[in-house]
Amino acid sequence: MIPQNRVIILTGATEGIGRATAYTLAEAGCQLALVARNTQTLQALADELNTVKHQAVAIPTDMGDTAQAAALATKTVEAFGKIDVVINNAAIGVRDRTLDLQEEQARRIMDVNYFGPVALIQAAIPHLRTNPEGGLIINISSIVGRRAMPGIAGYCASKGALEKMAESLRIEVKADNIRVSTVYPGVTSTNFNDNSLGDSQEGRGRVSGVPPERVARAILKTIRHERRDVFITLFDRAFVTVSMLFPWLMDMLLSRYFA
């Protein structure tokens, strides 16, 4: 898909990967429906992008509320007249071992990372269907959606759920000319860990990973080439491949690492 003039819903647009993606897509000539909860930060980002000719609207939304998530589709069509691409990027983590996971937090994670994105997809599909060029849904998962890690089970489960839903959806909407891609970032330098719920202090702080701009470029490439599964680094791809082929070996390596 040629990115120019595409109308894109981008959730989690104000920080980290989402913010880098907003700049990258604006630069590529996309029209953006920017989504996050913090109204001020979101509007400031839209204003900043609009000073350089790009067209962006801020739509403050809590993706943990399915009614709000679904309303994004109508609000975007009201602003731009169509939807070409939906990028489900907003998510939160929860840092707690399974035994300590509190139900309220586990449910909040599923609401934001799974039920909200599903509600948005369901609301967007009728608009993507009537788009003569079809549409593209991009879910930002994680390599830990493919192979869970200890200490973040609630988060891994939410990403795994999103990924499985996308596998079904891809086949279900194929005839409607709607394509579904999943992007699997590995460790990325954002404030994600500090923004995570949970009591555990293990693994907090800004980690040193790939810059979010690199993930943003991969997302732009995903729009261009509509690949099914997108990994950011060779290490991420190798980690997932080894995990799939030799799960027992990965169990052993992770047990040693986290001992």
Ligand X SMILES: NC(=O)c1ccc[n+]([C@@H]2O[C@H](COP(=O)([O-])OP(=O)(O)OC[C@H]3O[C@@H](n4cnc5c(N)ncnc54)[C@H](OP(=O)(O)O)[C@@H]3O)[C@@H](O)[C@H]2O)c1
**Could you tell me the smallest distance in angstroms from the CB atom of residue 231 to ligand X?**
11
- In the complex with ligand X, which residue's Cβ is closer, 131 or 254? 254
Which residue, 154 or 185, has its beta carbon nearer to ligand X? Answer: 185
Q: How many CA atoms lie within 13 A of 101 on its CB side?
A: 22
| Set 23, 114, 155, 184: catalytic member | 155
Closest approach of ligand X to the CB of residue 142, in Å: 3
Q: Which is nearer to ligand X, 24 or 190 (CB)?
A: 190
257 noted as active-site residue: no
Torsion of the alpha carbons at 194, 199, 201 and 207, rounded to the nearest 10: -30
CB of 132 to ligand X, least distance (A): 30
Q: How far apart are CB 124 and ligand X at their closest, in Å?
A: 16
**Closer to ligand X by Cβ: residue 98 or 195:** 195
Contacts of 172 (CB under 8 A, 6+ apart): none
Are 13 and 42 in contact by the 8 Å Cβ rule? The answer is: yes
Specify the residue, 131 or 204, whose C-beta has the smaller distance to ligand X.
Answer: 204
Q: Say if residue 177 is exposed, middle or buried (CB neighbours under 10 Å; 0-12, 13-18, 19+).
A: middle
For residue 240, give Cα distances in angstroms to 147, 217, 229, 230. 7, 21, 12, 12
136 membership: H or E segment, kind and range: strand 135-140
Q: Which is nearer to ligand X, 17 or 125 (CB)?
A: 17
Q: Under 8 Å CB-to-CB from 237, ≥6 apart: which residues?
A: 231
Q: Which residue's Cβ lies closest to ligand X? A: 16
8 A C-beta contact, residue 145 and residue 184: yes
CA distance 174 to 170: 6
Q: How far is the CB of 133 from ligand X (least distance, A)?
A: 26
Q: Which amino acid is at 58?
A: A
What separation in angstroms does the CA of 211 have from each of 114, 121, 126, 187?
25, 28, 35, 9
Q: Which residues bind ligand X (CB under 6 A)?
A: 11-18, 35-38, 41, 61-64, 89-92, 112, 140, 142, 185, 187-188, 190-192, 195, 209, 212
**Nearest distance from residue 29's CB to ligand X, in Å?**
22
Q: Are 203 and 181 in contact (CB under 8 A)?
A: no
Return the active site residues.
Answer: 155
